Amino acid sequence: MLFSERLCERSSDPDFQEVRRKMVESLLAGFSFSFPTISFRSELGISIINAQAVTTTAGREVKLYGGLAFHPKLSFHSMALVLLHEVGHHLSTGCRSPFDVTLACECEADHWSVTEGADTLKRASLQPLGIRDAVEELDRLLSVETTAEEKMEKRRPGCWSGSWPTRKDALLKQTRCPGSCANS
Protein backbone atom coordinates (compact mmCIF):
# COMPACT_ATOMS: atom_id res chain seq x y z
CA MET A 1 0.00 0.00 0.00
CA LEU A 2 1.49 3.27 -1.08
CA PHE A 3 -1.18 5.44 0.50
CA SER A 4 -2.91 5.60 3.82
CA GLU A 5 -6.52 4.90 4.53
CA ARG A 6 -7.42 8.60 4.43
CA LEU A 7 -10.71 9.61 2.88
CA CYS A 8 -10.88 12.06 0.00
CA GLU A 9 -13.43 14.79 -0.44
CA ARG A 10 -14.65 14.63 -4.01
CA SER A 11 -15.23 17.55 -6.28
CA SER A 12 -18.93 17.91 -7.01
CA ASP A 13 -18.13 19.24 -10.48
CA PRO A 14 -19.79 16.80 -12.93
CA ASP A 15 -17.33 17.73 -15.72
CA PHE A 16 -14.36 16.87 -13.50
CA GLN A 17 -15.96 13.56 -12.52
CA GLU A 18 -16.72 12.63 -16.13
CA VAL A 19 -13.16 13.43 -17.25
CA ARG A 20 -11.81 11.33 -14.37
CA ARG A 21 -14.10 8.39 -15.16
CA LYS A 22 -12.84 8.37 -18.75
CA MET A 23 -9.22 8.66 -17.60
CA VAL A 24 -9.70 5.76 -15.15
CA GLU A 25 -11.30 3.61 -17.86
CA SER A 26 -8.41 4.35 -20.23
CA LEU A 27 -5.81 3.75 -17.54
CA LEU A 28 -7.31 0.43 -16.45
CA ALA A 29 -7.69 -0.69 -20.09
CA GLY A 30 -3.98 0.01 -20.65
CA PHE A 31 -3.08 -1.90 -17.50
CA SER A 32 -5.30 -4.85 -18.44
CA PHE A 33 -3.57 -5.05 -21.81
CA SER A 34 -0.10 -4.65 -20.31
CA PHE A 35 -0.58 -7.11 -17.43
CA PRO A 36 -3.11 -9.71 -18.68
CA THR A 37 -2.61 -12.11 -15.74
CA ILE A 38 -4.12 -9.57 -13.35
CA SER A 39 -7.71 -8.33 -13.14
CA PHE A 40 -8.21 -4.61 -12.61
CA ARG A 41 -11.31 -3.29 -10.92
CA SER A 42 -12.42 0.19 -10.00
CA GLU A 43 -14.27 0.74 -6.74
CA LEU A 44 -15.17 4.36 -7.46
CA GLY A 45 -17.82 4.60 -4.74
CA ILE A 46 -15.23 4.06 -2.00
CA SER A 47 -13.56 7.33 -0.92
CA ILE A 48 -10.32 5.84 0.43
CA ILE A 49 -7.22 7.33 -1.21
CA ASN A 50 -5.70 4.01 -2.16
CA ALA A 51 -5.39 1.05 -4.47
CA GLN A 52 -4.91 -2.53 -3.33
CA ALA A 53 -3.41 -5.79 -4.54
CA VAL A 54 -5.40 -8.84 -3.48
CA THR A 55 -5.25 -12.53 -4.22
CA THR A 56 -8.61 -14.28 -4.27
CA THR A 57 -9.87 -17.67 -5.33
CA ALA A 58 -10.57 -16.07 -8.72
CA GLY A 59 -6.93 -14.98 -9.09
CA ARG A 60 -4.82 -11.86 -8.78
CA GLU A 61 -6.57 -8.51 -8.68
CA VAL A 62 -5.79 -4.82 -8.29
CA LYS A 63 -8.51 -2.50 -7.02
CA LEU A 64 -8.50 1.26 -7.58
CA TYR A 65 -10.60 3.16 -5.05
CA GLY A 66 -12.54 6.35 -5.75
CA GLY A 67 -10.61 8.52 -3.32
CA LEU A 68 -7.52 7.99 -5.43
CA ALA A 69 -9.29 8.08 -8.80
CA PHE A 70 -11.07 11.37 -8.05
CA HIS A 71 -8.37 13.11 -6.04
CA PRO A 72 -7.98 16.59 -7.54
CA LYS A 73 -4.21 16.77 -6.83
CA LEU A 74 -3.40 13.55 -8.67
CA SER A 75 -3.03 12.96 -12.40
CA PHE A 76 -2.59 10.06 -14.78
CA HIS A 77 1.08 9.71 -13.81
CA SER A 78 0.57 9.39 -10.06
CA MET A 79 -2.37 7.02 -10.48
CA ALA A 80 -0.33 4.91 -12.90
CA LEU A 81 2.57 4.74 -10.42
CA VAL A 82 0.25 3.67 -7.61
CA LEU A 83 -1.30 0.99 -9.84
CA LEU A 84 2.17 -0.19 -10.92
CA HIS A 85 3.11 -0.46 -7.25
CA GLU A 86 0.08 -2.70 -6.67
CA VAL A 87 0.89 -4.81 -9.74
CA GLY A 88 4.42 -5.08 -8.33
CA HIS A 89 3.00 -6.81 -5.26
CA HIS A 90 1.80 -9.54 -7.63
CA LEU A 91 4.62 -9.72 -10.17
CA SER A 92 7.82 -8.89 -8.32
CA THR A 93 9.84 -11.96 -7.47
CA GLY A 94 11.67 -10.29 -4.59
CA CYS A 95 11.09 -10.25 -0.86
CA ARG A 96 7.59 -11.32 0.25
CA SER A 97 5.13 -9.50 2.45
CA PRO A 98 5.18 -10.60 6.08
CA PHE A 99 1.36 -10.44 5.99
CA ASP A 100 0.71 -12.40 2.78
CA VAL A 101 3.45 -14.47 1.15
CA THR A 102 1.59 -14.43 -2.19
CA LEU A 103 2.48 -10.72 -2.46
CA ALA A 104 5.84 -8.94 -2.66
CA CYS A 105 6.72 -6.57 0.18
CA GLU A 106 6.26 -2.79 -0.10
CA CYS A 107 9.83 -1.93 -1.09
CA GLU A 108 10.00 -4.68 -3.73
CA ALA A 109 6.69 -3.45 -5.18
CA ASP A 110 8.14 0.08 -5.25
CA HIS A 111 11.29 -1.03 -7.07
CA TRP A 112 9.40 -3.19 -9.54
CA SER A 113 6.96 -0.35 -10.31
CA VAL A 114 9.63 2.10 -11.49
CA THR A 115 11.74 -0.49 -13.34
CA GLU A 116 10.09 -3.55 -14.90
CA GLY A 117 6.56 -2.27 -14.42
CA ALA A 118 7.09 1.13 -16.03
CA ASP A 119 8.98 -0.49 -18.93
CA THR A 120 6.24 -3.09 -19.51
CA LEU A 121 3.48 -0.47 -19.37
CA LYS A 122 5.26 1.70 -21.92
CA ARG A 123 6.01 -1.19 -24.31
CA ALA A 124 2.63 -2.88 -24.15
CA SER A 125 0.19 0.01 -23.94
CA LEU A 126 2.28 2.95 -25.18
CA GLN A 127 1.40 4.74 -21.92
CA PRO A 128 4.70 6.22 -20.70
CA LEU A 129 4.97 6.98 -17.02
CA GLY A 130 6.41 10.30 -15.90
CA ILE A 131 8.03 8.93 -12.74
CA ARG A 132 9.32 12.30 -11.53
CA ASP A 133 5.91 13.93 -12.11
CA ALA A 134 4.16 11.07 -10.30
CA VAL A 135 6.50 11.18 -7.31
CA GLU A 136 6.21 14.97 -7.02
CA GLU A 137 2.40 14.74 -6.99
CA LEU A 138 2.48 11.98 -4.39
CA ASP A 139 5.00 13.96 -2.36
CA ARG A 140 2.65 16.95 -2.15
CA LEU A 141 -0.04 14.64 -0.82
CA LEU A 142 2.06 12.38 1.41
CA SER A 143 4.47 14.90 2.94
CA VAL A 144 1.63 16.04 5.20
CA GLU A 145 1.58 12.54 6.72
CA THR A 146 5.33 12.01 7.00
CA THR A 147 5.54 12.58 10.75
CA ALA A 148 2.80 10.06 11.49
CA GLU A 149 4.22 7.54 9.01
CA GLU A 150 7.73 7.73 10.41
CA LYS A 151 6.38 6.97 13.88
CA MET A 152 4.75 3.85 12.46
CA GLU A 153 6.56 0.63 13.30
CA LYS A 154 8.54 -0.55 10.30
CA ARG A 155 7.62 -3.90 8.84
CA ARG A 156 11.18 -5.22 8.55
CA PRO A 157 14.43 -3.90 10.01
CA GLY A 158 16.02 -1.58 7.45
CA CYS A 159 12.91 -1.50 5.26
CA TRP A 160 11.96 1.93 3.96
CA SER A 161 8.22 1.34 3.78
CA GLY A 162 7.57 3.36 6.95
CA SER A 163 9.30 6.50 5.67
CA TRP A 164 7.91 8.44 2.71
CA PRO A 165 11.05 10.62 2.27
CA THR A 166 13.21 7.48 1.97
CA ARG A 167 10.73 5.78 -0.36
CA LYS A 168 10.48 8.90 -2.51
CA ASP A 169 14.26 8.99 -2.93
CA ALA A 170 14.38 5.28 -3.79
CA LEU A 171 11.59 5.62 -6.37
CA LEU A 172 13.36 8.52 -8.09
CA LYS A 173 16.73 6.74 -8.07
CA GLN A 174 15.15 3.37 -8.95
CA THR A 175 17.10 1.66 -6.20
CA ARG A 176 16.39 -1.49 -4.23
CA CYS A 177 15.74 -1.57 -0.52
CA PRO A 178 19.04 -1.30 1.34
CA GLY A 179 17.71 -3.34 4.29
CA SER A 180 16.92 -6.97 4.91
CA CYS A 181 14.64 -7.29 1.87
CA ALA A 182 17.57 -6.75 -0.47
CA ASN A 183 19.17 -9.92 0.83
CA SER A 184 16.10 -12.15 0.62
Listing DSSP states for 129-182 in one string gives --HHHHHHHHHHHHGGGHHHHHHSPPSSTT--TT-HHHHHHHHHHTPPPSSGGG
Would you state the pLDDT for residue 34? 94
**Which pLDDT score is estimated for 8?**
63
pLDDT for position 11: 65
- Per-residue pLDDT, 126: 81
What's the pTM? Answer: 0.86
As beta bridge partners, residue 61 has: 39, 54
Q: Where are the domains of the chain?
A: 14-183
What pLDDT score was predicted for residue 149? 44
Report H helices in 51-145. Answer: 66-69, 76-91, 106-112, 118-125, 131-142
pLDDT at 127: 75
In the chain, the percentage of residues whose pLDDT exceeds 70 is 79
Question: Which segments in the chain show pLDDT lower than 70?
Answer: 1-11, 143-162, 178-184
Cα separation, 148 vs 86, whole angstroms: 22
Note the pLDDT tens digit of each residue in 112-153.
Answer: 999 999 999 999 888 778 899 999 999 888 765 544 444 444
Q: Parallel, antiparallel, or unpaired for β 51-56 and 59-65?
A: antiparallel
